[in-house]
């Protein structure tokens, strides 16, 4: 009996030692996992910092490449325009001299003040200009057009949720002015665009967005402003006002377009025409360009709120271009393996893992091989966090290998809220998901292996999810209001970034190729989806 008791004690001691060893092994494994997770987070943070540092340089280089051919074609026309401007200045100077000679005893007339120190340099032949306000006032495409800050403005989160916007306080008269070059508005077509976030406006004040004022005289003081809480674009006594009353603390895309051939002036709000009127040309030849303040009233009319992504084009943009500038959030062609945003906002992607390229549905496509995925930074999509906002996702997909549970598109915060928007089940069926406090979904077809399929996912509160396959509507949920996270979101394409607790719980990275990815801030129509499916 003593031997049995001794054996039992030995067995118990052995079990205790084994349990202790298992616990120690589990602790070591947990520690190793935490270390790997910490290392991964550190790598991602380093990659994000590098990406942010390179973003502005990439956008400058990208635009220069895109504009090189256009500039070469326009060089002769620009030289002619410059010569015409110089001739016009000389003609005006000659007329002024003749007038003074005819009236030698008259006292010299005092010049009209422009209310701030300005340059008299003749306008340059500049095709386009862009101020991103990503924590500075630099202009990205030209030399001599960088902004100088007045009143020490600060910076805030941009309209996209990525990068920055200039934050202006009216009471401190904060704005940016451009010197030494002068933008060429005189007697020509042009387009001015910006994103604005008005705050605390009074209907009795003017709030300047963009201006160039040679003098407070007819057709000599260009100003894009908010007046009576409505968009307003004028040359001084030659004006057009929009019809929509702006809501405070809301991002808007605004544009003023002047067509010198048709002699019309238009104002656009969020890609929609908000007002149009016949108008004679702007005749100003010099004057500082200002952003965040204008001088049409004889004193400064400063903005209050945020301004972002200010653009100038020395041509008339058409309705499609303006609608895309207002609503096309990102577009990735993936040509030559590039993760550069080909849309208007320059939100470049970041790859995690090694990606390769293959022949795509249009030019080249990205090949995913059971591991890599690409992410659009950490918080670049402000509008996707707002409940009920319309949007459209469109892409080409070519699954390869065999069917398995795979994530094509995930929307998430870096930690917390996440939804698998587009997934494949283990049988290869496409599923489109959204969130209303619980999952809501509509099913698509079984995707054919080794075949390109165009997928479009549109959403609005009226129609809910509409899932299109190869340009044709396949299924729908009916109307609903999705529940947003309330904060900016990021996209993960081709994988789930290691997230295992999203609802519904899908997993697995995509195996195959993806091409021509679009994200819009609006619900595309059936005809517009069909056009994307037939490039």
What pLDDT digit, counting tens, does each position of 168-191 carry? 999 999 999 997 778 888 888 999
User: Pick from 267, 282, 317: which residue ends a domain?
Assistant: 317
Query: What sections of 123-196 are H helices per DSSP?
Result: none
Within a domain: 106? no
- Can you name the residues that pair with 310 across neighbouring β-strands? 131
Q: From the DSSP assignment, how many helices (H) and strands (E) are in the chain?
A: 3, 32
Count up the domains in the chain and report the number: 2
CB-CB contact of 412 with 492 (8 Å): yes
Each residue of 326-369: pLDDT tens digit? 999 999 999 988 888 899 988 888 887 777 899 999 999 999 87
Q: Is 243 helix (H, G, I), strand (E, B) or coil?
A: strand
CB-CB contact of 267 with 256 (8 Å): yes
Q: Is the pLDDT of residue 117 over 50?
A: no
What dihedral angle (degrees, nearest 10) is formed by the CA atoms of 223, 228, 229, 233? -20
- Can you name the residues that pair with 264 across neighbouring β-strands? 259, 278
Maximal C-alpha separation, the chain: 138
Least confident interval from 158-162, 249-253, 280-284, 405-409: 158-162
Burial label for 34, CB within 10 Å (0-12, 13-18, 19+), is exposed
Same domain? 308 vs 365: no
CB-CB contact of 131 with 458 (8 Å): no
User: Pick from 263, 283, 317: which residue ends a domain?
Assistant: 317
Q: Residue 106 — pLDDT band, cuts 50, 70, 90?
A: very low
Within a domain: 475? yes
Within a domain: 59? no
Same domain? 486 vs 437: yes
| Cα 480 off chain centre by | 26
Within a domain: 397? yes
Same domain? 472 vs 364: yes
Same domain? 344 vs 294: no
- Can you name the residues that pair with 148 across neighbouring β-strands? 177
Q: Residue 88 — pLDDT band, cuts 50, 70, 90?
A: very low
Q: Is the pLDDT of residue 108 over 70?
A: no
- Can you name the residues that pair with 168 across neighbouring β-strands? 305
CB-CB contact of 294 with 235 (8 Å): no
**CATH number, domain at 446?**
2.60.120.200
pLDDT at 127: 87
User: What does the alpha-carbon distance between residue 278 and residue 280 come to, in Å, rounded to a whole number?
Assistant: 7
Same domain? 263 vs 296: yes
Rounded to 5°, angle at Cα 404 from 402 and 406 = 120
Q: Look-up: residue for tokens 């040509």?
A: 335
Mean pLDDT across the stretch 371-390?
73
pLDDT at 418: 84
- Can you name the residues that pair with 469 across neighbouring β-strands? 455, 472
Least confident interval from 104-118, 287-301, 303-317, 486-500: 104-118
Whole-number average pLDDT of the chain: 84
User: What does the alpha-carbon distance between residue 205 and residue 213 come to, in Å, rounded to a whole number?
Assistant: 18
Q: What DSSP state is assigned to residue 106?
A: S
Domain range for residue 416? 327-532
User: What does the alpha-carbon distance between residue 177 and residue 61 come to, in Å, rounded to a whole number?
Assistant: 24
User: What does the alpha-carbon distance between residue 398 and residue 510 come to, in Å, rounded to a whole number?
Assistant: 10
Within a domain: 104? no
Within a domain: 184? yes
CA distances from 251 to 9, 176, 198, 246, 382 (A): 74, 20, 8, 10, 10
User: Which percentage of the chain shows pLDDT scores above 70?
Assistant: 81
Each residue of 481-534: pLDDT tens digit? 999 888 878 888 888 766 655 766 666 788 999 999 999 999 999 999 999 999
Burial label for 158, CB within 10 Å (0-12, 13-18, 19+), is buried
Global pTM reads: 0.75
Give the residue with greater pLDDT, 415 vs 299. Answer: 299
* Tally of CB atoms within 10 A around 464: 19
Q: Within 13 A of 180's CA, how many CA atoms are on the CB side?
A: 3
Q: Is the pLDDT of residue 116 over 60?
A: no
Within a domain: 44? no
Least confident interval from 4-8, 100-104, 310-314, 466-470: 100-104
Same domain? 522 vs 481: yes
Same domain? 282 vs 339: no
Same domain? 269 vs 344: no
User: Pick from 317, 343, 364: which residue ends a domain?
Assistant: 317
Give the residue with greater pLDDT, 257 vs 402. Answer: 257
Question: Which of 371, 372, 533 lies closest to 452 in space, CA to CA?
Answer: 533
Give the residue with greater pLDDT, 450 vs 353. Answer: 450
Same domain? 296 vs 256: yes
The b/e string for 258-268 (b: 16+ C-beta within 10 A; e otherwise) is: bbbeeebbbbb
Each residue of 33-70: pLDDT tens digit? 888 777 777 776 676 667 666 776 777 677 666 666 66
Same domain? 294 vs 250: yes
Tell me the three-class secondary structure of 248-277, residue by residue: CCCCEEEEEEEECCCCEEEEEECCEEEEEE
Question: Which of 365, 355, 378, 311 lies closest to 335 in space, CA to CA?
Answer: 365
Same domain? 487 vs 444: yes
CA distances from 442 to 420, 434, 475, 484, 525 (A): 13, 9, 6, 19, 18
pLDDT at 19: 85
Within a domain: 20? no
What dihedral angle (degrees, nearest 10) is formed by the CA atoms of 58, 63, 347, 146? 80
User: What does the alpha-carbon distance between residue 56 and residue 390 come to, in Å, rounded to a whole number?
Assistant: 29
| Peptide bond before residue 180 is cis, with ω within 30 degrees of 0 | yes
């Amino acid at each position: 009996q003593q031997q049995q008791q001794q054996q039992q004690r030995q067995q118990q001691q052995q079990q205790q030692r084994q349990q202790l060893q298992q616990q120690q092994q589990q602790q070591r494994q947990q520690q190793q996992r935490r270390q790997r997770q910490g290392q991964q987070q550190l790598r991602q943070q380093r990659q994000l910092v590098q990406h942010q540092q390179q973003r502005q340089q990439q956008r400058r280089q990208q635009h220069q490449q895109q504009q090189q051919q256009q500039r070469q074609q326009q060089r002769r026309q620009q030289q002619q325009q410059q010569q015409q401007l110089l001739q016009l200045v000389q003609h005006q100077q000659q007329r002024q001299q003749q007038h003074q000679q005819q009236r030698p005893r008259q006292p010299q007339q005092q010049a009209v003040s422009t209310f701030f120190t300005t340059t008299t340099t003749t306008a340059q032949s500049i095709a386009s200009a862009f101020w991103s306000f990503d924590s500075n006032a630099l202009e990205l495409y030209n030399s001599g057009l960088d902004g100088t800050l007045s009143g020490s403005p600060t910076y805030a989160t941009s309209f996209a949720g990525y990068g920055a916007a200039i934050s202006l306080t009216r009471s401190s008269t904060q704005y940016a002015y451009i010197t030494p070059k002068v933008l060429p508005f005189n007697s020509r077509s042009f387009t001015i665009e910006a994103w604005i976030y008005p705050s605390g406006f009074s209907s009795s004040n003017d709030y300047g967005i963009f201006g160039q004022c040679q003098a407070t005289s007819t057709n000599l003081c260009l100003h894009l402003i908010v007046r009576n809480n409505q968009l307003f674009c004028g040359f001084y006594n030659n004006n057009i006002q929009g019809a929509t009353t702006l809501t405070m603390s809301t991002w808007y895309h605004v544009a003023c377009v002047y067509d010198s051939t048709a002699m019309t002036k238009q104002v656009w709000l969020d890609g929609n025409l908000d007002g149009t009127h016949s108008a004679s040309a702007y005749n100003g030849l010099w004057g500082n360009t200002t952003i965040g303040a204008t001088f049409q009233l004889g004193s400064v009319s400063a903005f209050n709120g945020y301004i972002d992504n200010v653009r100038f084009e020395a041509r008339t943009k058409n309705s499609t271009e303006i609608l895309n500038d207002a609503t096309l959030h990102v577009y990735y062609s993936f040509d030559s393996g590039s993760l550069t945003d080909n849309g208007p906002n320059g939100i470049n992607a970041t790859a995690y893992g090694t990606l390769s390229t293959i022949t795509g549905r249009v030019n080249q496509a990205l090949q995913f091989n059971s591991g890599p995925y690409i992410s659009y930074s950490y918080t670049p999509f402000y509008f996707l966090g707002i409940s009920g906002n319309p949007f459209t996702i469109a892409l080409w997909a070519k699954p390869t290998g065999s069917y398995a549970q795979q994530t094509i598109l995930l929307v998430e915060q870096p930690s917390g809220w996440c939804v698998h928007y587009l997934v494949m089940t283990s049988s290869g069926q496409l599923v489109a998901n959204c969130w209303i406090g619980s999952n809501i979904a509509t099913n698509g077809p079984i995707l054919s292996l080794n075949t390109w399929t165009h997928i479009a996912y549109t959403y609005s509160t009226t129609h809910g999810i509409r899932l299109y396959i190869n340009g044709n509507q396949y299924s729908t949920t009916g109307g609903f209001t999705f529940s947003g996270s309330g904060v900016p979101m990021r996209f993960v394409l081709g994988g789930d970034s290691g997230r295992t607790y999203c609802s519904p719980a899908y997993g697995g990275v995509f195996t195959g190729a993806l091409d021509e990815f679009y994200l819009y801030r609006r619900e595309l129509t059936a005809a517009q989806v069909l056009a994307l499916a037939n490039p």
